[in-house]
A and B are shown apart, each in its own frame.
Chain A
Amino acid sequence: DVKVTQSSRYLVKRTGEKVFLECVQDMDHENMFWYRQDPGLGLRLIYFSYDVKMKEKGDIPEGYSVSREKKERFSLILESASTNQTSMYLCASKGTDPLNYGYTFGSGTRLTVV
C-alpha cells in the first residue's frame, strides 16, 4: 500500500515561531500536495509540487512556503506562525501513471498556534 506519513499528529506552537510540517511518501510519486482543512470550508490547496525542486502556489499560499529537495519528501513551512493558521493540515501524493490517477492522503497534522 502507498503510504503518506506526516511526522506529527498534533503540534502546539507559539505565535511568531517558524514551523515545519513534514510529509514523506514511499511510492515514488511525482506529485505532492499540501491542503488545510477547516470546518465549513472543506480542504483548500496551499501548495503543490510536480517534481523535485518545483513548487506551485495553490489557492491560499499566503503565509506559507514549501520545500521539495527530495522526491519523497514535501515540507510545509510557516515562516511566522499566526493564530489564524490553527488548522488541520493534510498532505497527499499522486503518481502520473495514466492508468492510476490515485491520490493518497496522510493522517493529518492538527496544528494549534497559541
Chain B
Amino acid sequence: GDSVTQREGPVTLSEEAFLTINCTYTATGYPSLFWYVQYPGEGLQLLLKATKADDKGSNKGFEATYRKETTSFHLEKGSVQVSDSAVYFCALSDTGANSKLTFGKGITLSVRP
C-alpha cells in the first residue's frame, strides 16, 4: 500500500537557519503530494502541495519539489522564524475522485530566538 516516510525528529534550529525536512514516499501511480502544518493548539493546515512530477509547491517561504525519480518531496525554507515552530506532516493522495490522504509520522520543529 501507499506509505510516507519522514525523518526522525524533533528538530531544533536557531532563528534564520536553513531548514530541510526530508520526505520520501511509496505509491502506485502518480500521487499528489502535500505538506501540512499544525501549530501548537491548532488543527491541521495545508502548507503547500504539488500534483505532478517536477512541480514546485510554495507558501510562506517554504518550498518543496515533487521528485519522481527519487520519490521525494523534501520541505525547505531559507530562513526560519520562531513562528515556524510547529509539527510538519508530509502526505500523499492518489488523484482519483475517491482518494484519501496517507500521512507520514510528522516532525516537530522548534525554532530558538
A interface residue numbers (CB < 8 A to B) = 30-31, 33, 35, 40-45, 48, 50, 58, 90, 92, 94, 96, 98, 101-103, 105-108
B residues 20-44 near A (Cβ < 8 Å) are 32, 34, 42-44
CB of B98 within 8 Å of the partner chain: yes
B contact residues around A90 at 8 Å (CB): 43-44
B residues 39-94 near A (Cβ < 8 Å) are 42-46, 51, 89, 93
Q: Please, how many angstroms separate the alpha-carbon atoms of A42 and B91 in the complex?
A: 10
B93–A101 CB distance below 8 A: yes
Number of interface residues, chain B, beta carbon within 8 A: 22
B contact residues around A50 at 8 Å (CB): 98
A105–B43 CB distance below 8 A: yes
A106–B98 CB distance below 8 A: no
A contact residues around B6 at 8 Å (CB): 42
* Interchain nearest-CB distance for B26 vs A (Å): 15
B contact residues around A30 at 8 Å (CB): 97
A105–B97 CB distance below 8 A: no
Given contact pairs A31-B100, A33-B100, a sample of 11 additional A-B residue pairs in the complex whose CB atoms are under 8 Å apart: A33-B101, A40-B105, A42-B89, A42-B103, A43-B103, A45-B100, A45-B101, A94-B99, A103-B46, A107-B43, A108-B43
* Interchain nearest-CB distance for A101 vs B (Å): 6
* Interchain nearest-CB distance for B48 vs A (Å): 12
A102–B46 CB distance below 8 A: yes
- Nearest A residue to B4 via CB reads A42
B contact residues around A48 at 8 Å (CB): 100
- Nearest A residue to B104 via CB reads A42
A contact residues around B12 at 8 Å (CB): none
Q: Please, how many angstroms separate the alpha-carbon atoms of A8 and B103 in the complex?
A: 24
Task: State which of A43, A44, A107 has its C-beta within 8 Å of the C-beta of B42.
Answer: A107
